A and B are shown apart, each in its own frame.
Chain A
Amino acid sequence: MEVNVKLFGDLREGRFKEEKTQLEENSRVIDIINKHNLPLDKVAICMVNSCQAEFGQVLQNQDTVAFSPPVGGM
């Protein structure tokens, strides 16, 4: 299956802003993290289709998964 992966902040460094990724059926969020070598302590926010998701969430074809490092602001 194919999912759309978005990276924010300095997770983009040495990687990409937005890219399609091929995965096995029933893959989870953690599989994308591993595939793109995202350091676990640098993934503070994870969203699947604009909703907060846990690393164990199972993905569907054409899902959009976004990752952000720890950020703050106001």
Chain B
Amino acid sequence: MKIYRVNMSKLSFVAEEVPDEWKVLGGRGLTSVIVAKEVDPTCHPLGSKNKLVFAPGLLTGTMAANAGRLSAGAKSPLTGGIKESNSGGTAAQRLAKLGVKALIIEDIPEGDKWYCLHVHKDGVEIKEETELLGKGNYEVIHTLTSRYGENTGVLTIGQAGEYKMSAANISVKDPKGHIRSLGRGGLGAVMGSKRIKFISLDDNDGKGVEILDKEKFKNAAQVFNKGLLSHPVSGNALPKYGTNVLVNILNEAGGLPTKNFRMGQFEGAEKISGETMYDTIMSREGDPTHGCHVGCVIRCSQTYNDKDNKYLTSGFEYETIWGFGAGCTVDDLDIIAHVDQICDDIGIDTIETAGTMMVAMEAGILPWGDGHGMLKLFTEEIKKGTSLGRILGNGAEFTGQAFGVTRIPTVKHQSIPAYDPRAVKGIGVTYATTPMGADHTAGYSVTSNILNVGGHIDPLAKEGQIELSRNLQIATASIDSAGLCVFTAFAILDYEPVSHALIDMINAQYGTNWSVDDWFDQGRYILKTERSFNEAAGFTKQDDRLPEFFSEPVPPHNVTWDFTGDELDQVFQF
């Protein structure tokens, strides 16, 4: 494997040997270590000193199921700290097959031209790009597929990334030609600052991934893959309903943030629920279950059609539906699906933009519950890069400040996801303390707080939440480095044979001699690396806190956010 280094000022490409200390790093482990090593933490995230790093995971490109995730990392223009975002789709496996351990993009072009990168078996071509500038992601993917063939992988930014909006994401073509997202933290703006519109990936004649002990790997992979299918969550629930099954659960638990985190229950919850979505998909001949990358056995994604049974959107997630739905008090799943589609097309993070819309409604820019008005803000303002669009495209906090709103649900300037931290206290601890900003995937305490996976910890009380969040943050950093979909965590954490099989695969592939604990040590190391970067970037303990308004009680439980600063500071004592 090689490190591919592209310099956008010199328009040069070089393939480097992998340094020893990076050999058993992958995914988030590798992107965070590279960013921490090579990026000045005080640099301007849209300037020449930031770097955009892509890395497939340790197991990507092998027969391990659900190992096709791609990590992308940089200094985030949204949070101002280190960011890793990961996604399914077609990119990670192609990079792995081509022998690319990491693709590092540095510096900024002189002049006004835009570029694209084409990655193939001999390296990276940097070409000028004019045709697809200003186009949405769907058109980019369609054009490149026609140009280079069905098997081409694509990473692309939409208009939002071209405008360098802080909520801009990087989109990844999925096996059906639809869109997955390297969603959070504005990495699309970083790609836009380097004036790269897209990266196409041709893995023909790629050497493939090297595995030292193929027999041992194969045996371990069989145990691992079977284990994923045997767990009730990854084997049954996620394939059928996708992530949106959570709407009714969180609503019942009183933790579904409604009307910008005023209440924990939404009257329209049933109308936007996973059950309603499943019935709608089936009645309109959509596809209720498919994977976001080849080798996925969990298949949590789906295709949602419009009233005329035509494709509308896919990868229609709980976070998106919660945010534009309960968060904004919109109860029309079709309108939310249109919003999902346009977010995918212009390349902007749905979680951040949902928070932005809540704040916009606080500001009176549009009424609460106005789904059509919300859609118009996307088509007429954000997509067109108007002054209002540029405010909205910069996220919830920027929008709130522009309009004098104080009720802004962010941590480290990133918008809070779909669980009220007062009613699901374990996730609140993660929101506050993860180096990623308000991020739910970084340490998904909802497992024990609400889902009764891996035990039960009362979501309304403080007991046990600090340890829970800490342990999950460590485990997740490790999983994110393996290129594994985070939904493998259910089986990994619940079934010892599965976690052992995972370690056996890593040891077989890399010739290491790790225990499960060694693997989690890597997670600890990654977190400490990320925290150090953030400290050097200017973050203090005060950035590990929730906004002031969470001291208000939230109905129905009327609970408040009552962790002290000292308690939260315990998370990273390890």
Contact = CB atoms under 8 A, between A and B. Distances in A.
A23 interface: no
A71 B249 contact: yes
Interface in A46-74: 47, 50-52, 66, 68-74
B556 A72 contact: no
A10 interface: yes
Contacts, number: 85
Given A50-B253, A71-B246, A9 B556 contact: no
Contact of A47 (B242, B252, B319): B252
B289 to A, nearest CB: 13
Interface in B205-260: 232-234, 236-238, 240-246, 248-249, 252-254
A51 to B, nearest CB: 7
Contacts of A9: 237, 240-241, 245, 274-275
Contacts of A8: 245, 248-249, 252, 275
Nearest to A12: B275
Contact of A50 (B319, B441, B557): B557
Nearest to A72: B233
A25 to B, nearest CB: 25
Contacts of B319: 74
Nearest to A9: B245
A74 B440 contact: yes
B375 to A, nearest CB: 25
B450 A45 contact: yes
Contacts of B275: 8-9, 12, 17
B98 interface: no
Contact of A73 (B242, B254, B456): B242
B542 to A, nearest CB: 28
Nearest to B270: A17
Contacts of A69: 232, 236-237
Given A68-B249, A72-B233, A73-B246, A44 B490 contact: no
Contacts of A74: 243, 317-319, 440-441, 444, 486-487
A6 interface: yes
A45 B255 CA distance: 15
Nearest to B459: A52
Interface residues of A, number: 20
Interface string B312-323: 000001110000
B483 to A, nearest CB: 17
A6 B242 contact: no
* Residue of A12, A69, A71 most packed against chain B (CB within 10 A): A71
B245 A73 contact: yes
A42 B510 CA distance: 40
Nearest to A54: B456
Given A50-B252, A50-B556, A73 B453 contact: no
B285 interface: no
B458 interface: yes
B450 A72 contact: no
Given A8-B248, A44-B451, A50-B556, A72 B238 contact: yes
A67 to B, nearest CB: 10
B452 A45 contact: yes
B407 to A, nearest CB: 24
A37 to B, nearest CB: 19
Q: Which of B275, B460, B487, B490 has the most CB of A within 10 A?
A: B275
Interface of B: 232-234, 236-238, 240-246, 248-249, 252-254, 270, 274-275, 300, 317-319, 440-441, 444, 447, 450-453, 456, 458-460, 486-487, 490, 556-557
19 contacts: A8-B245, A10-B240, A45-B451, A45-B452, A50-B556, A50-B557, A51-B460, A52-B459, A69-B232, A70-B233, A72-B451, A73-B238, A73-B244, A73-B246, A73-B300, A74-B317, A74-B318, A74-B440, A74-B441
Interface of A: 6, 8-10, 12, 17, 44-45, 47, 50-52, 66, 68-74
User: Which 5 residue pairs of A and B lie closest in terms of their CB atoms, listed nearest first?
Assistant: A73-B243, A72-B233, A70-B232, A73-B246, A71-B237
